[in-house]
Amino acid sequence: MRHALLPLLLSLCMVCAAHADEPTAQPNQDKAHHKVKLSSEQCGLSTPFNVLVDAGGVWLYRDQGLPKEIFFHGGELSVDRKVRPVSAADAQRLWQMESEARTLMPKVTDLARGMVDLTFDALSSVIDQITGSPRKARKVEPHRKAAMKYVDDTLGTGRWDQEIFDEGFEQRVESAAEQLSGMLARSVLWQVFTGRADAIDERADRMDADLDARMDAQGEVLEAKAKALCPQVEMLYALQDALEYRYEGQPLRMIEVDKNDTPEIAQAAPAPSSAPEDHGDHRDTAIKLDKAK
């Protein structure tokens, strides 16, 4: 009989997640499994900010580090709630960054919804094949709906929060798996005690090949979608890198290059000015930005 069912379920949950990890070869395996991870890191780039993209503009905010808030809309820029004068070229770059962010967020939402489906399809298949009960497999659906609502209420509204995504998203799925694994373990024990352990083995053998094939196929589709986002993410980085505006004498950093990655940054944006311009930190230009509820 198969053992360690909880680790199996948890490993399936780890399939869930917005950037694609490259498959790595494993000993004695002909093909590596594809894994997609929902994270603030994407394509070798990441942001230390929480992000809100809506009709009012693009707002980046964080509790630690400076600046704490960056907001831009319609070519205008505010840093730490002060309007900052920018050049005409920077205004155009900010316009383009806002446009790219608006088109990117729905794609990330679609990717996240696909990963929710992939994860709970896997859980449902495990329960169905191990227990032989479609009724028990349907107990996955409330968890799927809750996860979908979570995605729609956050990413679907243009909101990316570091605390509720990355580890938070993964923990939600793992929690669902743990709850379902208890029901699965009870079913397995009942079948063992009633002399039907061989049937479990047969279903588990069938499940291995079928589930691997389906999860690999779905995973490849999601991986392709995740990689397709990279040109837009790299374009945002290039536009940011070209900004002439300086914050306290330094380039304004909303997106950072991950230390262990060297992304191929898009070349469409012009190079930044070699001589930083003083755009001022005038106290009388402060504006008030209200956080989203």
Domain, as residue range, for 196:
42-269
- Asked whether residue 10 is assigned to any structural domain, the reply reads no
The mean pLDDT of 184-193, rounded to a whole number, is 66
pLDDT in tens, 77-120: 999 999 999 999 999 999 999 999 999 999 999 998 998 898 88
Reported pTM: 0.73
Least reliable range by pLDDT among 111-120, 161-170, 279-288: 279-288
- Asked whether residue 81 is assigned to any structural domain, the reply reads yes
- Asked whether residue 52 is assigned to any structural domain, the reply reads yes
d(CA 9, CA 140): 12
| Contact assessment for residue 50 and residue 160, using Cβ atoms and an 8 Å cutoff | yes
Predicted confidence (pLDDT) at residue 260 exceeds the cutoff of 70? no
DSSP secondary structure, 207-225, as one string = HHHHHHHHHHHHHHHHHHH
The mean pLDDT of 256-266, rounded to a whole number, is 64
Q: How far are the Cα atoms of 14, 74, 106, 257, 289 from residue 166, in angstroms, in the given order?
A: 12, 30, 18, 18, 26
Q: What's the total number of domains in the chain?
A: 1
- Asked whether residue 162 is assigned to any structural domain, the reply reads yes
